[in-house]
Amino acid sequence: MTSKKYTLLAVLFCLFASTVFAQTTATRSIYGAGLDVTDANLISSKNLPQHNEFLAGTYDYPAKPRDMWEIGLSGGVFNILGDVRGVPSIGTAVHIRKALGHVISLRLQGMYGRGVGQNYRPSFGYAQGGNANPWYDRYNPQGTQTGNTKVPPVYYNYRTIVQDLGLQILANVHNIRFYKDQTALTFYALGGIGVTTWCAQSDVLDANNRPYDYSGIYAASLAGASKKDILKKLKDLQDHTFESTDELDHSIPSQFTFQRLLQTFSNCRYGFGFSLKRPLKYSVGRSSLLC
């Protein structure tokens, strides 16, 4: 009976020893999946002394790893909110990001967007404008082009090419991990400043360089044609060349450079992101730009 007890104790001791041995040789990952805390390549030269002390057991805390870089591509819906009905289109962006710790990072981003708009209701207010307004210049309300003093209806449209370059501060709200090796979902918010260029043009003239005759479409709208029918008639009538430069709002400080307006802006954004497979990440957000 006594020999059986000693045999059982010997077996338990071997199991315990093998378990301890397995723990000491496993990868110790505290920087995320697949990153070993003992890897000196993750540590800057400034923090190597602390790293060596931690490995030697003379310091309780590992050294701070290198701040990582990120390169990203973005795409999404681009829309301009204004007095002409905007049509959602596609915008793209590319950015480079440098972490400044576990929460804060800096991001330099360039964006390209092509905004278009088309009203389905007629407008007459251009008659109060001046020659800088392409609609006033072509549909002269004084009668030199239309042959009478009646103001003809027009349907405002535009195409605006927007490019901007901005520097932003980004904060990951949910990036600090206490009880997980890797947080799949993170929330973020950012704000920044930059410069933007744009050029707005309208499709005012047809292929023969003459103003469009909207009288038939106007009559259809008075007869109760639907929004869908009006937009289809406008699409069939116009050639979509956008040959006329739009009037500028001189109350907004800007600089005309390279045949485009140049202006500073501020922006903000919020959203969430989640990891796909290291080092890939996917994020969804909403951005607003204020010039």
Q: Mind listing the pLDDT tens digit for each residue in 79-107? A: 888 889 999 999 999 999 998 887 899 99
Q: Is residue 128 very low, low, confident or very high in pLDDT (cuts 50, 70, 90)? A: confident
CA distance 282 to 275: 6
CA distance 11 to 16: 9
More confident residue, 56 or 173: 56
User: What is the predicted pLDDT for the residue at 153?
Assistant: 92
Averaged pLDDT for residues 122-150: 73
Strand duo 157-172 + 185-202: pairing: antiparallel
More confident residue, 185 or 21: 185
Q: How big, in percent rounded to 5, are the helix, strand and coil portions of the chain? A: 25, 35, 40
Taking only the tens place, the pLDDT of each residue in 40-80 is 888 888 888 988 898 898 988 888 888 888 899 888 889 88
Q: 138 Cβ partners below 8 Å, 6+ apart?
A: 145, 204, 205, 211, 244
CA distance 103 to 138: 55
Taking only the tens place, the pLDDT of each residue in 231-257 is 999 999 999 999 998 887 766 666 666
**Amino acid code (one letter) for 244:** S
In the predicted structure, residue 227 carries a pLDDT above the cut 90: yes
Q: Is residue 182 very low, low, confident or very high in pLDDT (cuts 50, 70, 90)? A: low
Q: Is the pTM for the entire model greater than 0.85?
A: no
In the predicted structure, residue 32 carries a pLDDT above the cut 70: no
User: What is the predicted pLDDT for the residue at 17?
Assistant: 37
Averaged pLDDT for residues 142-153: 61
For the chain, the first-to-last Cα distance in angstroms comes to: 89
More confident residue, 18 or 33: 33
In the predicted structure, residue 281 carries a pLDDT above the cut 50: yes
In the predicted structure, residue 143 carries a pLDDT above the cut 80: no
Q: 202 Cβ partners below 8 Å, 6+ apart?
A: 134, 135, 156, 157, 158, 159, 242, 244, 246
